[in-house]
Amino acid sequence: GDQGHEPPRHCPTYIYKVVLLGSTAVGKSSLAYRYVKNDFQESLPTVGCSFFTKIIRMESATVKLEIWDTAGQEKYHSVCHLYYRGAHAALLVYDITNKETLGRAKQWLKELEKEFLHDEIVIALVGNKMDLAEEREVPLFSSQEGEEFARSRSLLFAETSAKSNHQVKDVFMAVGKTWGKHEASQAWTGPLGRGCCPVALLPPSPSAPAA
């Protein structure tokens, strides 16, 4: 692999593709960076699309997590569908201090629902910047928004903070876990003939944090 350390021969490698979608500046890149590098930077403006990989080694298999992070700008829209094609999971990210961004995340959900069948993809709604709770615009418990909305569409839900490292790993693990349950018998074959099969990731975390 490009990480320089090949997995042992007998141990199969599975590729798992996760895409991050949402408005500009909600913290998509920061979430990816936190998860892959366990670090936070104030400024990481994305141009086009960024691609990160993270190798997760388990006893019986290795999972190569591919994370696609898009700039989310209008001028790149026509290329976006390419990025989420073949995705196993999508994180729809909004910023809890900006209500508009939740609306945008819901629009992304519509697009995904057009592109994928119900069981084809695991979708998580992620409210980021929960360290800024005092500036919150999107309430955590209400019928229309956030968690309730996620539950009504059978999406996973979490509030995260890339900055203070809250629930970031858990979100990535959770989408991996649920996908394993849903897609136990299916294998996706991408353009390079890369197959995928279920893997037990870490135990899922509670989806709703204590506010």
Task: Please give the residue ranges that form the binding site for ligand GDP (CB under 6 A).
Answer: 22, 24-30, 42-46, 128-129, 131-132, 161-163
What is the 3-state secondary structure of the chain?
CCCCCCCCCCCCEEEEEEEEEECCCCCHHHHHHHHHHCCCCCCCCCCCEEEEEEEEECCCCEEEEEEEEECCCHHHHHHHHHHHCCCCEEEEEEECCCHHHHHHHHHHHHHHHHHCCCCCCEEEEEEECHHHHHHCCCCCCCCCCHHHHHHHCCCEEEECECCCCECHHHHHHHHHHHHHHHCCCCCCCCCCCCCCCCCCCCCCCCCCCCC
Q: Is the dihedral of CA 55, 46, 209, 116 positive or negative?
A: negative
Binding mask of the shown chain, residues 67 to 106, with x at each position contacting other proteins by CB under 8 A: x-x-x-xxxx-xx--x------------------------
Q: Which stretch binds other proteins (CB under 8 A): 38-46, 89-97, 153-161, 170-178?
A: 38-46
Which stretches of the chain bind Mg ion, using CB under 5 A? Answer: 28-29, 46
Compute the distance between CA of residue 33 and CA of residue 51 in angstroms, rounded to an integer. Answer: 11
Q: Could you tell me the smallest distance in angstroms from the CB atom of residue 189 to other proteins?
A: 14
Nearer to ligand GDP, 2 or 42 (CB): 42
Nearer to Mg ion, 46 or 101 (CB): 46
37 touches which of ligand GDP, other proteins, Mg ion, none (CB within 5 to 8 A by kind)? other proteins
One-letter amino acid identity for 148? E
13 touches which of Mg ion, other proteins, ligand GDP, none (CB within 5 to 8 A by kind)? none
Nearer to ligand GDP, 33 or 149 (CB): 33
Q: Which of residues 109-168 bind other proteins (CB under 8 A)?
A: none
Nearer to other proteins, 44 or 208 (CB): 44
Nearer to Mg ion, 28 or 136 (CB): 28
Residues engaged in binding other proteins (CB under 8 A): 2, 24, 29, 32-33, 36-37, 41, 43-53, 67, 69, 71, 73-76, 78-79, 82, 191-192
